[in-house]
Amino acid sequence: MTHQKLYEELFERSPSKKTYLSCLLKNYPGNFQFDPELTKFSTISKRERSEFLSVVSFLSLASQTDDEVYWTDAVPLYFQKLRSMFPELKFLTKFDKPSDKRRLMIGLDPKRLKYYESVYELVDYALIAFQPRKDLEYFDGEIIIPPWNSNTEPMTYLVPTREKRTWNASAFTDQLFSFNISDRMNSYPTKLKDNRFDSCYDCVCEYRIWELYYLKHDIIPTENMVLIEMLR
């Protein structure tokens, strides 16, 4: 099943040109050689890395200079890294007073959907951890399927619109299961040539996220710049 088909079955419409799910792996040609000296791998957990990369992709695609990013939950270990990566943004916690600037909300606890619904009324854009366990009426929007997701309890992230829809939990779970055993294992055009990575969704998607981050900051990413991040 293709990513477009997954999207169409979840949303009953074709993805827009700005769909996060499709743009992460769109137009991805080329190959290069990797510097073998970059060997240091991160101690961050797979779940944290998946979550972190979801936030990086969202901020790289949706944020503008001077936006306020409202963090609705307890700050994670990578919070300060995000601040240093996006110096053009102002990161706020629940203890900070917002201004009248454009605001983005980050909500990463799928059990707090009702709370995020009320906060979303006060912001312009949002990224919400989304893992429906039962049918529910909630915002429509674009779905991010991050790299390095769990095989058994996959997490997705919703970039909501203002419109509501009914989410069918059973259909949603079935489609994610199909993605995990099919699309996730497929081979995608990749620039990765090091034997620690292959052309699966996880490796190629993370590489694309780092490319998007560098391009957002008007930096032409080199092979080593991106792969240093992947190997941290």
The first and second tokens of residue 137, run together, are 């009426």
Residues 6 or more apart whose CB falls under 8 angstroms from that of 15 comprise 4, 7, 8, 21, 22, 142
Find the domain containing 98 and state its range.
3-26+43-185
Q: For the whole model, what pTM was predicted?
A: 0.78
Tens digit of each residue's pLDDT (9 = 90 or more) over 106-117: 999 999 999 999
Whether 107 is covered by a domain: the verdict is yes
Whether 48 is covered by a domain: the verdict is yes
End-to-end CA distance of the chain: 32
Tens digit of each residue's pLDDT (9 = 90 or more) over 162-217: 999 999 999 998 888 888 888 888 888 777 666 667 788 888 888 888 888 888 88
Whether 117 is covered by a domain: the verdict is yes
Whether 223 is covered by a domain: the verdict is no
pLDDT in tens, the chain (232 residues): 444 555 455 445 555 544 444 334 333 333 323 333 333 334 467 788 899 999 999 999 999 999 999 999 988 888 988 999 999 999 998 888 777 788 999 999 999 999 999 999 889 999 999 999 899 999 999 998 999 888 778 899 999 999 999 999 999 988 888 888 888 888 887 776 666 677 888 888 888 888 888 888 888 766 666 666 665 5
How many structural domains comprise the chain? 1
Long-range CB pairs of 47-50, under 8 A, 24+ apart, other chains included: 47/148, 47/150, 47/155, 48/76, 48/77, 48/78, 49/148, 50/146, 50/147, 50/148, 50/149, 50/150, 50/155
Whether 196 is covered by a domain: the verdict is no
Whether 217 is covered by a domain: the verdict is no
Whether 33 is covered by a domain: the verdict is no
The first and second tokens of residue 112, run together, are 């707090």
Whether 61 is covered by a domain: the verdict is yes
